[in-house]
Amino acid sequence: MSCGATNASQERLSLKEDLTCAICCDLFVDPVMLACMHHFCKACISTYWRSLRDPVTCPQCRQEFPTKQFQTNYLVAAMVEKVRARSADHQHLQKRLKDCLASHRLTKERYMGMIHKNEQKVLKIKRTGAELQGQIRSDFQALHCLLQEEEASTSEHLRREQEEILGELGRHLATLQGGLVEVEEKMHILQQTMDAMEQRYLLETPEVNFRLSVEVDQGPGIDISSFGAKYKGPLQYIVWRKMFKLLNPGPAPLTFDEETAHPSLCLCREKTSVVECDKMVAHKPSRKRFVQCINILGSQGFQSGRHYWEVGVGNKTKWDVGVALETVDRGVRVKLCPENGYWTLRLRNKTQYSAGTQPWTRLSLTSAPRIIGVFLDFKDRRVSFYNADTMLMLCSFNNGPNQKAFPFFSTCLSDQGRKPQPIRLVHFPLEPL
């Protein structure tokens, strides 16, 4: 502590002593001054003198007086009242200091918790990134000689994405660290102020800044499960869309399962195209058939591995495409969502695209896809949807099926007055829609 601060502290302590009655050891009440210049409470000195036999003396210096006389000191009385008036303010300030210190302590704990969570995210991002790099190398192995440039390009895109996410987390961590330092410094200053107030009376209330200059938010909302989802897709096929003549093999050549078709649907002879009929088709009763909704399944079912197929939706104004469990109830009308055994992408009213969640998740697409790519990965339990023209991922589910599932399609009821448009299973080589 500096010499000036020490002197100021000593002066404040001396003032308190000067305003304290030597008899009751408390601040003066109706202070009076004796001829010896010593001060006492009026009631204290009166009581003290009544307990004495002659001579009358000062309790401090023992000076004798001929009579019991004293003089009211209005200046000292005013100073005492000022100090006493400040006492309530000091108590209020002390409470605010205590509350603020407790609040900052909670803020510190919250920042430390956020730092821990972000550090865990960083570790998981790095682990996921490392796994994706291995997957990328494996997928490129079959075309390694011809696709070295593509492999390097894809790896670089992943590295940049990871670096961008880590950069966001790193910047947020740095902000949190700065916030934590400020909180600790503020707590130290507040504690010093409280300690100083406990040791002395202050005539002036100290100015205290209770606010933090930095408020740190929760940070970037990064979904760890979706990081790198596009790299977990059918990578070789994504590259093949650029150089499809080099790809071997191509996507699965699916067909529609006529036994599952709603009676309002008609299939072409090859069972690769389905459209609404003008009237109901005669059919045999079957538990496999959809009877409440205009739905149909693919003939090929899957229960392991990774699979990809493409569905031509053309200019249809509404449709549903995706994956359905083998066990779904075909005789009832239910919402198409994972909870009911469906993982779908849907279109309504020409432009309203949604992921089949509960509730619907609206999607903002820059262009209307004419061909939808569907990717099913049983190992990662992932169902992803792509605009097959650009291989841009439209949405992805990370809670995919864990039992046998089939490709799912719904033409939906066409708008009144519009000619029904078909849904087609795209086989290769590519055919115009």
- Work out the number of other CB atoms within 10 angstroms of the CB of residue 259: 14
Q: What is the pLDDT of residue 250?
A: 55
Of the ranges 74-83, 306-315, 338-347, which one carries the lowest mean pLDDT score? 74-83
Q: What is the pLDDT of residues 210-266, one digit of tens each?
A: 676 667 677 677 777 777 777 777 777 777 667 665 654 457 789 999 999 999 999
Q: What is the pLDDT of residue 248?
A: 44
Give the integer Cα–Cα distance in Å for 405 and 287.
Answer: 16
Tokens of 79: 């100073």
Give the integer Cα–Cα distance in Å for 405 and 326.
Answer: 5
Q: Which of 65-79, 125-139, 355-369, 405-419 has the highest mean pLDDT?
A: 355-369
Give the integer Cα–Cα distance in Å for 131 and 133.
Answer: 5
Per-residue pLDDT band for 429 (boundaries 50, 70, 90) equals low
Q: What is the pLDDT of residue 430?
A: 54
pLDDT exceeds 80 at position 90:
no
Give the integer Cα–Cα distance in Å for 312 and 388.
Answer: 9
CA distances from 212 to 139, 179, 207 (A): 51, 8, 15
pLDDT exceeds 80 at position 169:
yes
Q: What is the pLDDT of residues 367-378, one digit of tens each?
A: 999 999 999 999
Give the integer Cα–Cα distance in Å for 209 and 224.
Answer: 39
pLDDT exceeds 60 at position 342:
yes
297 forms beta bridges with: 408
pLDDT exceeds 50 at position 433:
no
Contacts of 20 (CB under 8 A, 6+ apart): 26, 27, 28
Q: Compute CA 62 distance to the chain's CA centroid, rounded to the nearest angstrom.
A: 76
